[in-house]
Amino acid sequence: MSETHKAAAGAPTFSRPHKIHFSECDPAGIVFYPQYFVLFNDLIESWIDTLMPEGYHGILGARRVGMPTVHLDVDFKAVSKMGDAVTLALYVQRVGQASLTLAWACTGADGVLRMSATQTIVTTSLDTHKAIAIPEDLREAIVASAARAGA
């Protein structure tokens, strides 16, 4: 079992329900796989919004701290169709000096894992595009969020 699937077995750090929309599907009527990346980017943005007073927008905009993805490892396990109720969940796996690793899981209301991934994000200066340390207040909020979930 991969680390992604191990992480997805415990309590998520952050999750929310989602109904699969027509706009997220391909002509075969299933989620077009790049849409999962949009869904999980939105989930991360919502999570950071709950952690930081200025939210994701303030981190990127006013503070000029980028959070680009530098690595993704993805498994697609089962299809999701328009109208399906799913849960999108993220799990903090590791918080480093300038990067963090998250696990994602999309699980159907039937309990079937639809897709899972691990993602490495690096914090960068949006002025120089060089890696920088995770801002201390953001690091503390991420660690506290993971601790509340039991990670």
Q: pLDDT tens digits for 108-125? A: 999 999 999 999 999 999
Cβ pair 58, 52 in contact under 8 A: yes
CB atoms within 10 A of CB 14: 21
CATH number of 3-149: 3.10.129.10
What's the confidence (pLDDT) of residue 151?
Answer: 57
Name the pairing type of β-strands 99-108 and 69-76.
unpaired
Greatest CA separation found in the chain? 46
**Per-residue model confidence as pLDDT tens digits over 29-65:** 999 999 999 999 999 999 999 999 999 999 999 999 9
> pTM of the predicted model, to two decimals?
0.90
Report the sign of the C-alpha dihedral through residues 64, 52, 145, 33, in that order: negative
Name the token pair of 118: 């691990």
The pLDDT score that the predictor gives to residue 6 is 40
CB 65 within 8 A of CB 122: no
- Give 131's strand partners: 124
* Residue 84, SS3 per DSSP: coil
